[in-house]
Amino acid sequence: MLIFAEWRPIMTTIETELLAALEDLDSKVKSMPTANPKPNLIPAFERIDALGRQLPEDADPSLCHYLQRKSYEKARLWLLGRGAENAKGKCGH
């Protein structure tokens, strides 16, 4: 059975960098149970926030919403074209 991902236009440079930063954060978080010392996540959060501020005004509202709410996993899935996997939050997104 074929499963098709959501269609999305080609990512912008900022979106590509944002996805890389979100993937880096995801990797660091997943390493935490066994990492010693624990990774410092603050630089990763700062990088993601800085990239989010660089998105153009016409950026997808869902992506902006996820970033503003610090829903980084939802933002990562959206950038991967897997936004349909995102569970709806209390806010309706």
Query: Is 25:51 a contact under the CB 8 Å cutoff?
Result: no
Which pTM does this prediction carry? 0.81
Q: What is the pLDDT of residues 12-66, one digit of tens each?
A: 999 999 999 999 999 999 998 888 898 999 999 999 999 999 999 999 999 999 9
Going from N- to C-terminal start, the domains of the chain cover 39-84
Q: Which of 54, 66, 45 is nearest to 16 (CA)?
A: 54
Query: Is 3:84 a contact under the CB 8 Å cutoff?
Result: no
Q: What is the pLDDT of residue 43?
A: 97
